[in-house]
Amino acid sequence: MAEVKDLIIIGAGPAGITAAVYAARKKMDFTVISRDIGGQAAWSGDIENYTGYQFISGPDLAIKFKEHMEKYEFDLKEGGEVLKVEQEGKNFKVKTSKDEELVAKTLVIASGKRSRLLNIPGEVKFKNRGVTYCATCDGPIFQGKTVAVIGGGNSALDAVLQMIKIAEKVYLININEALGGDAVMIEKVMSSDKAEVLNKTKMLEIMGDKFVKGIRVDQAGKIREIPLQGIFVEIGLLPNSNIIDFVKKNKNDEIMINCSAETSVPGVFAAGDVTDVPEKQIIVAAGDGAKATLAAFKYLVKL
């Protein structure tokens, strides 16, 4: 029979790492399971709104998070993924991609989100051959080249701001009539002579042979082909909530929580971008990670 932990934390982005720090300080017996450390924070470019740092890059902030977490001794399972969470009496069983089964009295689900796909011809064919979903990870590959960023929100704007430092030219392909996101970021993009914003423009096809050579778009009713070598897809994210099917979710498949990070099932807590909290911000995710562990600790005390 598997050892029953106090807590299992699923995910190690800002929410999961903060949850782990609080669990360690509460001397809880817990395990963290995550494919990687840092989550979406590690994909971000320049961060100027995280308290305590007037300016820090996403990868550097992720390193700070990891260093803080590693000051404590606990069971960290990195490199695998959670496939399914099941109820087992009053406890919860977690099955992983490494054929492990772990059991705990409480859970904090901080599994974050994954990139939404364009679902157009050429996307799958040219993935990792010019099509990417992370400017921070893959931007340097496109030094001096022409690229397109697909999207119109903060993630797309962040990708453009990263790529104008690297690429020769950056097209921002936005399906809506105007850009969304923060006014400061929009202003920076619009003021760059390297960036060209195409509003009311729909992606139709990604073209190439071995690698991406261009895109076909519908720009306000006019079909246009644009030669380029790289495409960064930033059209939103989908919650990694399919691992659990017995908690309430909203129409976007996000796990619903209250102000204490409690889900609809006692003993199951959630934090970060996988939840229905509307503000998808690093600092919000970190705060909710703290609340989730504190609520889990109170739940265990009552048990």
pLDDT band at 50 (very low <50, low <70, confident <90, very high): confident
Task: Note the pLDDT of residue 212.
Answer: 97
Asked whether residue 80 carries a pLDDT value surpassing 90, the answer given is no
Total residues found in the chain within this entry: 303
Q: Hey, what's the torsion of the CAs at 208, 209, 210, 213, to 10 degrees?
A: -30
- The reply to whether 259 belongs to the active site is no
Residue type, 167: A
Say whether 93 sits in a helix, a strand or coil. strand
**Any alpha helices (H) in the chain, and if so which ranges?**
14-25, 58-69, 135-138, 154-163, 183-190, 282-302
Asked whether residue 28 carries a pLDDT value surpassing 90, the answer given is yes
Percent of the chain's residues with pLDDT above 90: 79
Where do the structural domains in the chain lie, given as residue ranges?
Answer: 4-114+237-302, 117-233
Asked whether residue 301 carries a pLDDT value surpassing 70, the answer given is yes
Task: Give the predicted TM-score (pTM) of the model.
Answer: 0.81
Task: Note the pLDDT of residue 87.
Answer: 96
Which of 29, 46, 138, 182 is labelled catalytic?
Answer: 138
**Each residue's pLDDT tens digit, 164-196:** 999 999 999 999 999 998 999 999 999 999 999
- The reply to whether 134 belongs to the active site is yes
Q: Considering the domain delimited by 117-233, tell me its CATH architecture.
A: 3-Layer(bba) Sandwich (3.50)
pLDDT band at 54 (very low <50, low <70, confident <90, very high): confident
- The reply to whether 138 belongs to the active site is yes
Name beta bridge partners: 208: 212
Q: Considering the domain delimited by 4-114+237-302, tell me its CATH architecture.
A: 3-Layer(bba) Sandwich (3.50)
pLDDT band at 146 (very low <50, low <70, confident <90, very high): very high
**Each residue's pLDDT tens digit, 94-107:** 999 998 999 999 99
pLDDT band at 1 (very low <50, low <70, confident <90, very high): low
Say whether 33 sits in a helix, a strand or coil. strand
Rounded to a whole number of angstroms, the CA Rg of the chain reads 21
Which of 29, 46, 60, 134 is labelled catalytic?
Answer: 134
Asked whether residue 41 carries a pLDDT value surpassing 70, the answer given is yes
**Each residue's pLDDT tens digit, 106-140:** 999 999 998 899 999 999 999 989 999 988 878 99
Question: Is there a contact between 282 and 65 (Cβ–Cβ < 8 Å)?
Answer: no
The answer to whether 4-114+237-302 and 117-233 have equal CATH topology is yes
Which of 75, 137, 245, 253 is labelled catalytic?
Answer: 137
Residue 164's CB is within 10 A of a number of other CB atoms, namely 19
